[in-house]
Structure 1
Amino acid sequence: MALFDRKGSGGDCKGQAEQDEAAAVFILEPGATLKNAIIGPAQAEGVHCRGPCTIENVWWDDVCEDAATFKGTGPRYVRGGGAREASDKVFQHNGEGWLHIDGFYANKFGKFYRSCGNCSQQFQRHVNITNFVGIQGVVMGVNQNYGDTATLSNYCVAKIGVICTRYEGCVKPCEAGEIGEGALAPYCVVNGQDWS
């Protein structure tokens, strides 16, 4: 596997400053697949999917703002791979519809998955996470008021204070407010059961 980053370009990491897809290492057009790659630490945004996409066996050495951002519509798939040192988020879901994550490893993250809390256009979003290994972070964050759902099954976690945080999402300019932690079906479900 080859390593890719934005060292020496305008796409270098600038801490948690929000940047657009121009700072991404890869931009995936609808229907594209990114496979067998390492995203190096010199990047502000890792991967941006503009629609349906597949990310397979991709590893992030040191996540800057987000490892991957999902836009547009249609199903998206993350198969295998891993990420570490994501002080903010690993996967940011801005578009509508489904994201399926299977067989992913994450170590030290703010949130593993977050449905956008304050996008300029809001949608109902759904995530299905299976065969997940996570160390130190919040696994899922969803907007309860928009009907988001998150399901986690077949997982192994350590140093996880909260599996799922529920928010009241909003449209910019605003910040999403936290409603509660733990499971509340159908918004946050773990192994088909409520978790709290």
Structure 2
Amino acid sequence: MFKSTLFVLSLAAVQTVLADVPVHSTTVPAPTGITTTLPASAGYVALPTASVISGSFDGKMVKYDRAGSSGDCQGQTETGEADAVFILQSGASISNVIIGANQAEGIHCRGPCTVTNVWWEDVCEDAITMKQTGAGDVSTINGGGAFHAEDKIVQHNGAGRIVINNFFASDFGKLYRACGNCATSYERHVTVNNVCLKSGSEAVGINSNWGDTATLSNIKTSGKPSATNVCCTYTGVAQGSEPPKIGCGDGYSACDYSASAVGSC
């Protein structure tokens, strides 16, 4: 039973959310700094199926997850788009949302998307999966944060570039990973600026043999990752195999940053 202080949407309201979410007129100011604590939620919705967003959706800091459904967390079991909380159509945007612990996949972006001030209370399999296919496609994650990601926070399965700004991560495996064994071997790029990373293993993992690159600036860490594993390179392989790690650090040409760009938080 939910606490009395928690606002819970009615069944009718939940059913409304399940349809393609229309464009909202709300203008969301872009975060300019890092917040290191999970915001208080303004309500709670457990979705029986993934909510598909077209246009822009402002969640107004309501917490959403998939509690009690097939999309609930299944640990590190490989799940898919149907197990997401939100599915963003190409060009869609989402802002001011808390993703609760009871979910498997968080957000899936089918094409370029914009994610602003979105928080993951407890990442299950992956927090957000990017599936854009154009070499010139760009998706942006600005503000927000994620906690307790056993593996990856941002999984980049598609092509193009992902930009991550003003983000906080705590207790995680990788902030960003360019897929090293997906069915299609795209060239992928990531730009990371002004992030605070606490108790993680790697900030960025890319596949240098496929032309992937990472550009990093103003990276703040606490514990791991250290300056030597802010950017790690792998050899991308065919689907079904495990990509071997080459190494980590600013000595690799695919990793564009300097040790002086790494500080503490």
TM-score category, normalised to shorter length: over 0.9
- Structure 1 partner of 2:158: 95
Among 97, 107, 110, the residue aligned to 1:50: 110
- Structure 2 partner of 1:182: 249
- Structure 2 partner of 1:2: 62
In the alignment, the residues of structure 2 paired with residue 62 and residue 53 of structure 1 have an alpha-carbon distance, to the nearest angstrom, of 22
Preserved CA contact (<8 Å) 1:142 1:148: yes
Gapped runs of 5+ residues in structure 1?
none
3-state DSSP class of the match of 2:73?
A: coil
Alignment of 1:4-153 (within 5 A): 4-73=64-133, 74-137=137-200, 138-153=202-217
After superposition, what is the alpha-carbon deviation per residue over 1:141-194, rounded to whole angstroms, capped at 9, x for unaligned? Answer: 000100100111012111124212110011212110111121234311225989
3-state DSSP class of the match of 1:104?
A: strand
In the alignment, the residues of structure 1 paired with residue 253 and residue 188 of structure 2 have an alpha-carbon distance, to the nearest angstrom, of 12
Consecutive aligned runs of 4 or more in structure 1 exceeding 6 Å deviation:
192-195
In the alignment, the residues of structure 1 paired with residue 84 and residue 251 of structure 2 have an alpha-carbon distance, to the nearest angstrom, of 34
3-state DSSP class of the match of 1:121?
A: coil
- Structure 1 partner of 2:230: 163
Q: Once the two structures are aligned, what percentage of the paired residues are identical? A: 49
In the alignment, the residues of structure 2 paired with residue 168 and residue 185 of structure 1 have an alpha-carbon distance, to the nearest angstrom, of 13
3-state DSSP class of the match of 2:77?
A: coil
CA, structure 1 residues 84+189, in 2 after alignment: closer, same or farther (shift >3 Å)? Answer: same
Preserved CA contact (<8 Å) 1:154 1:191: no
State the TM-score, normalized to the length of structure 2. Answer: 0.71
After superposition, what is the alpha-carbon deviation per residue over 1:27-84, rounded to whole angstroms, capped at 9, x for unaligned? Answer: 0000000100000000000000011100000000000011000002311000100001
3-state DSSP class of the match of 1:87?
A: strand
Gapped runs of 5+ residues in structure 2?
1-60
Aligned length: 195
Write 1 or 2 for the structure with the bigger share of helix: 2
Q: Which amino acid aligns with 2:151?
A: D
C-alpha RMSD of the superposition: 1.6
State the TM-score, normalized to the length of structure 1. Answer: 0.95
Preserved CA contact (<8 Å) 1:4 1:38: yes
In the alignment, the residues of structure 1 paired with residue 258 and residue 144 of structure 2 have an alpha-carbon distance, to the nearest angstrom, of 22
CA, structure 1 residues 181+155, in 2 after alignment: closer, same or farther (shift >3 Å)? Answer: closer
In the alignment, the residues of structure 1 paired with residue 106 and residue 208 of structure 2 have an alpha-carbon distance, to the nearest angstrom, of 27
3-state DSSP class of the match of 1:175?
A: coil
CA, structure 1 residues 167+193, in 2 after alignment: closer, same or farther (shift >3 Å)? Answer: farther
Q: Which amino acid aligns with 1:169?
A: G
Preserved CA contact (<8 Å) 2:250 2:259: no
12-21 or 173-182, which deviates more: 173-182
